[in-house]
Amino acid sequence: RADAGRLEREIPNSAPRSEKKRLWAAQDRAEDLAREGTRLLAEANASLDAALANAPDHAGARRLLAELHWDRHVEAEAAGDRRGVILHLRQAERWNDGALDARLRGEGTVTLRTRRWTCDCLSRGRAVAPESLNVFGYHPWSGRRLSGEPVESVPALETGPPPRLRVHAHDCPRIEAPNASVWAWRCEEIDRVLIPVSAREGGAPCPPALLDRLFGDSPYRPRGQGLHLGETPIVGRALPRGSWLLVVSAPGCAPSRVPLVVRRLEESTAEVTVFGADDVPAGFLPVAGGPFFSQGDPGNPASGPAAVVDLPDVFIAQFPVTCADYLAFLIDLARTAPAEATARVPRKGQDGPAYWPQVSPGAWAIPDPAWLAGAPDDLRRQASRLDGATADWLRSWPVLGVSWSDASAYARWRSLRDGRLYSLVHEDAWEKAGRGVDARAFPWGETFDPCLCNAYGSHREGYFPVPVRDCPFDESPWGIRGLAGNSWDWCLNDPGLTHPGFRIGKGGSFTQAPPRNRMSHSGVNHLHAAFFTNGIRLAAACALTPPGETWYREDRRKRPAPRA
């Protein structure tokens, strides 16, 4: 299977039949070996069953049978075969005479350290030279590859004076910051969603005010007081295997959610940056740096190969940009560039008519029910519903019908207005924001249901966006909402040099069904094309990317695949 996987990555989809034969031969060999392995396993099981029928206490046969069922149990876990997991676990327990005790307990260890920057760049800001603007190897607004490879970008978005921005330099130092309190809850599936619950309790309970601040009215507010792991550094703490949610609270710092996965007989390590209360932009949430399991999604036929991707810290907007947010951008832009503002109004396709009517020079209206009820006939005729929608616009909807260029122009405008380094979200950061670190398929867990997000089948009345704060179950382990439905988010990066004029997009929309709603799914559109499903979500850089460091799609091949 390793050879077949390697050839799948090396041989492009466009390769001729003659070249594909190598891949097909490797796939056939892998399938033949799998069938032969199944046959031999069945024979071994039959032989061991016969031996134990004659000698029930035969230690060697019992151990072999326990090991065989244990291996099948692990395979079933990896494949998501819940019935197989239970069946083979029970058989492994039945035949175990002690050799599997540690594995059956299913514990791993956790080591957690907290750190902080020694400077105040995120709170006070710093002058940033234009040539140092680097986010994942791209110019944050034009989308130019800083390595020089020829992908289409928007050079006009690089103009202007050097900004002062609240962002760290790539080499700002960080030091260990001990004494952060940490509580843990294990995530268990309840009514199709993973809820943090107190698998164990002990030590001081997590203060309710802290949970109020982090979770508000979220349905994922942890249940129970939590297990107090103590203060950082936490070294070698044993926990049962599974997906966990930690709450980390350091004195004088903003608390944060930190998802963690504990693997059987392995050590899980995490280094969590703690941020001052003014460091995190309003409306954004920290996604802690470190590795996560990317792609490798068996439920998505278009998923890329599994990879472990080690990301830096990043802040990501809890909600997508709303229509009201985007209208403020258009009105401000029209003061200095009226033609550009007119061209960036949400519209039908790349050069189609605008959805929002222009009510006066430099001003547009969002045609919501209240505006439509009082608007003159000539203006009302200029307005139109979003394509595919069976309801009128709302100011609290995510803005849709915009191009990548529009979205990036909005990010630049917000950056200069707020003094932050905003950009569109890189697809790797977006996937981590949705999946956490346990490789879940959807923000809430493994099972899709249209009642959990705004997608195809969510409404009897048809298909339409909803206010960005609706659908509270469409929330990721970090607290970010609206990733599986409602709007499709333009991403910062391109899909590779074979598609130089295109950009990635991720997320479900109000018209889409799986696999498009899965966190591993990606789509591409031309960067100047506007689509009725496409919207905007911002990221805020914690620190500039070091010179020469890139996060292009082709770089993924250089990263190690995760262990099975």
CA 375/CA 381 separation, integer angstroms = 10
User: Hey, what are 32's tokens?
Assistant: 């033949």
Give the DSSP per-residue string, 254-302. Answer: E-EEEEEEE-TT-EEEEEEE-EETTTSPTTEEEE--EEEEES--TT-TT
* pLDDT, position 562: 47
**Encoding tokens for residue 505?**
């997009």
Q: Is the pLDDT of residue 79 over 80?
A: no
State the angle between helix axes of 59-79 and 17-54 in degrees (0 to 180), rounded to the nearest 10. 140
Start-to-end Cα distance in the chain: 12
Q: Report the Cα 194 to chain-centroid distance in Å.
A: 16
What pLDDT digit, counting tens, does each position of 154-191 carry?
A: 999 998 887 899 999 999 999 999 999 999 999 999 99
In the structure encoding, which two tokens stand for residue 107, read together?
């514990």
- Give the separation between CA 438 and CA 382, rounded to whole angstroms: 48
- Per-residue pLDDT reduced to its tens digit, 179-236: 999 999 999 999 999 999 987 778 999 999 999 999 999 999 999 999 999 999 999 9
420-448 average pLDDT score: 98
Q: According to the model, what pLDDT value does residue 128 have?
A: 96
Question: How would you label 378-393 residue by residue, b for 16+ Cβ within 10 Å and e otherwise?
Answer: ebeebbbebeebebbb
Q: What one-character DSSP code corresponds to residue 493?
A: S
Check whether 563 has a pLDDT greater than 70: no
Residues 366-390: tens digit of each pLDDT:
999 999 999 999 999 999 999 999 9
Q: What is the mean pLDDT of residues 473-478?
A: 99
Amino acid at 91: Q
pLDDT for residue 15: 86
Helix crossing, 2-10 with 17-54: angle to 10°? 160
- pTM of the predicted model as reported, rounded to 2 decimal places: 0.91
How many beta carbons lie within 10 A of that of residue 472, not counting itself?
Answer: 13
Query: Please, which pLDDT band fits residue 351 given cuts at 50, 70 and 90?
Result: confident
User: In the chain, pLDDT over 70 holds for what percent of residues?
Assistant: 98
Question: Can you tell me the distance from the alpha carbon of 326 to that of 345, in angstroms, rounded to the nearest whole number?
Answer: 9
Local confidence band at 14 (pLDDT 50, 70, 90 cut-offs):
confident
Alpha carbon distance 152, 500 (integer Å) = 6
- Give the Cα-Cα-Cα angle 503, 539, 170 (nearest 5 degrees): 100
For residues 315 and 23, which has the higher predicted lDDT (pLDDT)? 315
Structural domains of the chain in order of their starting residue, each with its CATH number: 2-105 (no CATH), 107-128+163-280 (2.60.40.10), 323-558 (3.90.1580)
Count of CA atoms in the C-beta half-sphere (13 A) of 256: 29
Quick check: helix, strand or coil at residue 128?
Answer: coil
Q: How confident is the model at residue 1 (pLDDT cuts 50, 70, 90)?
A: low
Give the C-alpha separation, 351 to 362, whole Å: 19
